Each structure stands twice: as structure tokens, then as C-alpha cells.
Amino acid sequence: MSEDQFFLYDDQEDTSTRFVSFMGESHRYDLAIMTTDRYYGKKFVIDLQGSHYAIIGQDDVEEPGYLEHAFNLTEVETEELREFLRQVV
């Protein structure tokens, strides 16, 4: 590492990770849901099959277009994910 390298932050933190897999009408969801203090109560949700991720709070779950864009899902697939995330975040 060079002396002139500048970090905005370099922290370590303990996290809790929940791995969940479920089948919707036409799409399988394999998720890792990380809980950490870093994101002000929001969860770090990773789609393990689709290589997408987002930092999600309750407001984001209900935000039109947010989940569709973050996880590259259709409207039907998004509603399935939204129903699950309402229980988790």
C-alpha cells in the first residue's frame, strides 16, 4: 500500500447474516440478508443468484421502482420479493 493512498474509512464490524431461499411463482430467490449498525437500521440484501444487492429499509420496500431496479426483476417477481421483505426489514 502506498503512502499517498487515501481511505474514506476502513472499519471492521460484526454482522449477522441470514440466508434464505424460497420459490415464487416463476422465480427462485436466494438471498443473504446482513444486519449491521452501519446503515442506520437498514438491511444489506444480496441476491446470490443474480449478483444484485441493495441496502433496504421499510421505506425502500414500498418505494415504487426501487426493488425492480436494484434486483432487475419484473413487476410480478418484485411483488413476491416485496411481500417477503416486508416481514424481514
- What is the model's pLDDT at position 13? 92
- What is the model's pLDDT at position 2? 65
Closest to 32 measured CA to CA, from 51, 15, 19, 42: 19
- The list of the chain residues with pLDDT below 50 reads none
pTM: 0.87
- What are φ and ψ of residue 30, in 5° steps? -120, 110
* Terminal-residue alpha carbon distance, the chain: 38
- What is the model's pLDDT at position 1? 57
- What is the model's pLDDT at position 26? 84
- What is the model's pLDDT at position 33? 98
